[in-house]
Amino acid sequence: MRTLDALEAALPAVDRVVVDLTARAYDGLAAVALASAAGRPILAVGQHDDAALRRAALAAGADRVYPYRRLFEDGPRQLAAWLGDDRAVEAPA
């Protein structure tokens, strides 16, 4: 979603939400709070050197907050774990 209004409109139809904390089109913490208020599990991603923002996302309701690099290096496994899929997921070769 590119705006908070679009996220709010989509929330009834989604089970989970991934939020980019440094998105330019919306306030990442506001998106986390909105999805949290709707009872959706939230995975947020942000800069590795902005620990304060990542902590703020947890305080706003994110279930997990990862630095971009962690998802870049281990995304399939991390997302599978978040989705509750216990099977090993391998990145495409």
Residue 12 has pLDDT above 70, yes or no: yes
Q: Where are the alpha helices (DSSP H) in 1-93?
A: 4-10, 28-37, 51-60, 68-83
Q: What is the DSSP letter of 4?
A: H
Q: For 34-89, write each residue's pLDDT tens digit.
A: 999 999 999 999 999 999 999 999 999 999 999 999 989 999 999 998 998 654 44
Domains and CATH numbers, the chain: 4-83 (3.40.50.2300)
Residue 88, pLDDT score: 44
SS3 42: strand
Is the pLDDT assigned to residue 93 strictly greater than 60? no
CB 61 within 8 A of CB 37: yes
The pLDDT of residue 1: 77
Q: pTM of the full predicted structure?
A: 0.86
C-alpha distances in Å from residue 7, one per residue of 75, 85, 93: 23, 25, 33
